[in-house]
A and B are shown apart, each in its own frame.
Chain A
Amino acid sequence: MTGPAPLSPEAVPALVLRLAARLRTRHGFLIGPGEVGDALRALGVVDLGRVREVRAALRAVLCASRAELRVFDAEFAAVFLPGDLPPPELPTLPSAAPGVPEPGPAQPQPGAPRPEPAQEEGAPAPPRDLPEPPPVAADDAMPGAAGAPQLGPDAEQDGPPAPVQFARLSDQPGAGGEGALPPDDLGTLLRAAGAFLAALRLAPRHRRVPQARGRVLDLRRTLRAAARTGGDPARLRWLGRPRTQARVLIVLDGSRSMGRDAALLLRFAQALHLRARRVEVYVFSTDLVRLTPRLRGAAPGAPLALPQEAGAWGGGTRIGQSLLRLARDERARVTPDTALLILSDGLDTGDPDLVRRAMRDLAARAGLVVWLSPLAGLPGYRPVQRAVAAALPHLDALLPASGLADLLALPAALRRR
């Protein structure tokens, strides 16, 4: 398609099918024929001449979580408004292959302060007034219609589109790209991932919950059930403390200073995801992005498409803000069954108080918190980086992760702790 076209009822099914296919295959949306049918029914009852109404209807039907909303908007624009938002060109992700230079400025020496502008880092910004939302057009006709205005930011809920945020957050940002699992270390990474998952042992839950079999009689439920049988406790109810399989939540620092280590740890995260489905992966640089849908859709060893957002990869570091965002916005994923892995060198010039607050919250919710640092294996390493020092009281373990040998040694280190 070369430019925006009027949205006619005849064109709707093909466009919806194309959108659904893109969302399903590229981003792992759980969209089946039922959802496509509902999307078509929804468009049958809204005004096809109003782009916001069309978008809102499709969003409501095809999206199932907040993380999917932004992806949806980009794909909706690509399918329904191809002339309005050209897809960004993506530079290549730093390769894990030896000898390939890192993008951007040279990697700082371990322990050296990161050469980031101070205002970019985690210190809380002074309160500022949000700009007033742009006036909402009386009628936002679909492009192609006479006098149709362009799609503006949704005054209700949408932040600025990704390219705007891209420029605001990072002065020398990277962008998405492709990372590949080299075939020679995939097997080793999978072995390390399997051993790591086997070594994860969370403490049994403190609270007893109803179980089919247990050690403690659940008197309340037993008596309640007995009421149905005339007071005869025909069926006993039990309580127990289940030892559940741990969920793994990985938060990967994709900032420039992590360099090649980030690529290795990303491949380790992918290997963990291949070994267990209960693995969630987030990546952050200046902004936190959920990577799990992309891992879910990637074939083992195939190139991995990274988010088309500079905030996630190759930019500066905002550890505190990213962890705080995880603790606040993604708290549903941090439960007593969760083993939280933070993969970062801890080089951050932001406010360590943010890291402290976020870690206190996360540690209170998670079953296990482990910080993996590429620097921790260096001789004479001391956890003096401000972010690491702030997080340390809330960690169950601080372990090295600078190479395959460190990753293979993780299970033993976890058992020793």
Chain B
Amino acid sequence: MDAAPPDLNAAFRARGYVAGEALGTALRLVTLLGRPLLLEGPAGVGKTEAAKTLADVLGTRLIRLQCYEGLDAQAALYEWNYARQLLHLRRAEATGREPSDAELYGENFLMRRPLLQAISEDVPPVLLIDEVDRADDAFEAFLLELLAEWQVTVPELGTITARTRPHVVLTSNRARELSDALRRRCLYHWVEYPSRAQELEIVRARLPEVTAALAAGVTRAVHALRELPLGKPPGVAETLDWARALSVLGYETLDAHALHTTLGAVLKLREDAQLAAPLLERQLARPE
């Protein structure tokens, strides 16, 4: 069943997310084929935002698992509420009753973490497994089983099978090479920087308070920056941050003064700023 609206791109656009046609098709296939989607691309191009917007468009819950080094399967799945179990035990002892194992390891004391939550929902949620490249190989191997079988085993409760299959979106900034096995289980899409026209549209949609001239100037400057060999090229998030910062400071156009006072909002390395500032100034001096 197609849970997504027929024109997914228009629905995304209405929420301020300008998705290209290829990304729109990939996200539609997530809902139609029930396969996870792996989104890769430079930082700040809107990978996480795509999952959030998908949840919004589908009118379902977003469940997010932020990956980090050392994340293990149990932390992502479930934990027992030891403090409550202990209190329950003490209370039972005080009344001279001996609680059973089934009582102690029941649903009352189970704390569902994102992955278990995602497969326990009646309505398929959007499960965002964010920055999966930060997790260790062992966790990635565990994900393989979950994404293939849609069931997990809790030793005390047995095997829990998904009520409904969540729409899964994985994101990666390529801090670590993902295994071929995980890639094969996923649809794949590389999220590229948007074109200048698309980025201008994003700025106008997200920040209606920013003047047209300022939005155009910021977009033009950011695209010029991405042409340079920078250590950290600005993403769309930086474009929005920069435009917002300039707007809050009262600028209506991007001039040399505005550039110098706010360049830190878009370039986060000193050497990048040193390289880019004179070139941007020359660009600003040129007519549009």
* Residues on A facing B (Cβ under 8 Å): 30, 32, 35, 38, 41-42, 45-46, 52-53, 55-57, 59-61, 63-66, 69, 124-130, 132-133, 136, 154-157, 227-228, 320-321, 324, 328, 330-333, 335, 354, 357, 361
Residue of A nearest to B20 (CB): A156
Given contacts A128-B227, A133-B197, A133-B198, 20 further A-B contacts (CB under 8 A): A30-B183, A42-B29, A42-B33, A45-B2, A53-B25, A59-B189, A60-B22, A61-B29, A64-B38, A64-B183, A66-B190, A127-B227, A127-B282, A132-B195, A132-B196, A133-B195, A156-B20, A157-B190, A332-B174, A354-B229
> Cβ of A155 and Cβ of B280 under 8 Å apart?
no
> Cβ of A357 and Cβ of B25 under 8 Å apart?
no
* Residues on B facing A (Cβ under 8 Å): 2, 20-26, 28-29, 32-33, 35, 37-38, 40, 80, 82, 133, 174-178, 180, 183-184, 186-192, 194-198, 220, 223-225, 227-229, 231, 233, 271, 275, 279-280, 282-283
Cβ contacts under 8 Å, B228 to chain A: 124-125, 127
CA distance A208 to B187 in the complex (A): 34
Cβ contacts under 8 Å, B29 to chain A: 42, 45, 57, 60-61
Q: How far is the CB of A181 from chain B (nearest CB, A)?
A: 26
> Cβ of A132 and Cβ of B197 under 8 Å apart?
yes
> Cβ of A125 and Cβ of B189 under 8 Å apart?
no
Q: Which of B38, B175, B184, B189 interacts with A331 by CB under 8 Å?
A: B175
> Cβ of B40 and Cβ of A66 under 8 Å apart?
yes
> Cβ of B223 and Cβ of A52 under 8 Å apart?
no
29 A-B pairs in the complex with CB atoms less than 8 angstroms apart: A30-B184, A41-B33, A42-B29, A45-B32, A45-B33, A56-B21, A57-B26, A59-B26, A60-B188, A61-B29, A64-B188, A125-B227, A127-B227, A127-B228, A127-B279, A127-B282, A129-B223, A130-B227, A132-B195, A156-B21, A156-B192, A156-B194, A156-B195, A157-B190, A157-B192, A227-B82, A332-B174, A332-B176, A357-B231
CA distance A175 to B197 in the complex (A): 34
Cβ contacts under 8 Å, A157 to chain B: 20, 22, 190-192
Q: How far is the CB of B246 from chain A (nearest CB, A)?
A: 18
> Cβ of B184 and Cβ of A124 under 8 Å apart?
no
Cβ contacts under 8 Å, B192 to chain A: 156-157
CA distance A230 to B139 in the complex (A): 26
Cβ contacts under 8 Å, A69 to chain B: 190
Cβ contacts under 8 Å, A357 to chain B: 229, 231, 271
> Cβ of B187 and Cβ of A61 under 8 Å apart?
yes
CA distance A403 to B18 in the complex (A): 54
Residue of B nearest to A357 (CB): B231
CA distance A160 to B223 in the complex (A): 17
Cβ contacts under 8 Å, A332 to chain B: 133, 174-178
Residue of B nearest to A154 (CB): B22
Cβ contacts under 8 Å, A64 to chain B: 38, 180, 183-184, 186, 188
Cβ contacts under 8 Å, B23 to chain A: 156
CA distance A32 to B185 in the complex (A): 11
Cβ contacts under 8 Å, A35 to chain B: 184
Cβ contacts under 8 Å, B194 to chain A: 156
> Cβ of A129 and Cβ of B22 under 8 Å apart?
no
Cβ contacts under 8 Å, A41 to chain B: 32-33
> Cβ of A52 and Cβ of B22 under 8 Å apart?
yes
Cβ contacts under 8 Å, B2 to chain A: 45
Kindly name the residue among A55, A63, A127, A324 whose own CB sees the greatest number of chain B CB atoms within 10 A.
A127
Cβ contacts under 8 Å, B177 to chain A: 332-333, 335
CA distance A11 to B176 in the complex (A): 40
Cβ contacts under 8 Å, A133 to chain B: 195-198
CA distance A41 to B80 in the complex (A): 41
CA distance A56 to B231 in the complex (A): 30
CA distance A127 to B285 in the complex (A): 12
Q: Which of B22, B174, B176 interacts with A59 by CB under 8 Å?
A: B22
CA distance A357 to B230 in the complex (A): 10
Cβ contacts under 8 Å, B220 to chain A: 129
> Cβ of A127 and Cβ of B224 under 8 Å apart?
yes
Q: Which of B33, B180, B197 interacts with A30 by CB under 8 Å?
A: B180
Residue of B nearest to A132 (CB): B197
CA distance A361 to B28 in the complex (A): 38
Q: Closest 8 CB pairs between A and B?
A: A156-B20, A127-B224, A64-B183, A157-B192, A56-B25, A332-B174, A56-B22, A60-B26
> Cβ of A129 and Cβ of B224 under 8 Å apart?
yes
Cβ contacts under 8 Å, A361 to chain B: 231
CA distance A42 to B27 in the complex (A): 12
